[in-house]
Structure 1
């Protein structure tokens, strides 16, 4: 009941706070990843490739719900850093990419940085509240 009344009074506060959190999270994480030469957007793609394996740029774009040109620019930067490489594809119109050995090494460093950062964020928050937050985020995502 409180949330419904609060939301009616402050219609966009929830979404503004979400945006502020997201931007602050990205900025702080960028500050931690810079030491290994990554930004959050690059880390997201490195993480995706480690979890899923070789994928097309369209698949990455769909996975993150981001326009393909944005993904292409980030992938090109990762390729310049020799963290990813193209792999042969049956369809010459598609770019398929995967992590290189160097990319796997950077992944191992980055996953420790991100994990430590996230643990520090949730430290002191009751597990039930974290579970509720995760469920709420998933429910909101499903509605989009």
Structure 2
């Protein structure tokens, strides 16, 4: 479970995750593009322009794939585990695998994602902001 493969990694001879240099550079690119102001759609356009195939080998990337990648702490070397399938309790296994993204970059992306989100949590629950984040760059 700790060593479940995700884009940017492959399994070494011992079955542990190791960095796949070829796809890891694409992971770094995705994080860098997001922090430089690109929207998820803008990132997809850039990846397709560069003819970078999706994790499943397709020419088209899904928005969800990029969004999940930008939220996956595994890229920092950490893994979140749930105590059980329906539990709110989470454990963080640190330094589980080699990091592709620094913890600082990952945290900066999480802050930026929250800033761009058009959903806020208030006294009356979750609501949409009156003004939606718009990126004219993508």
Q: Do the structures match in fold with TM over 0.5?
A: no
- Whose Rg is larger? 1
Task: State the TM-score, normalized to the length of structure 2.
Answer: 0.31
Task: State the TM-score, normalized to the length of structure 1.
Answer: 0.30
Bigger share in helix: 1
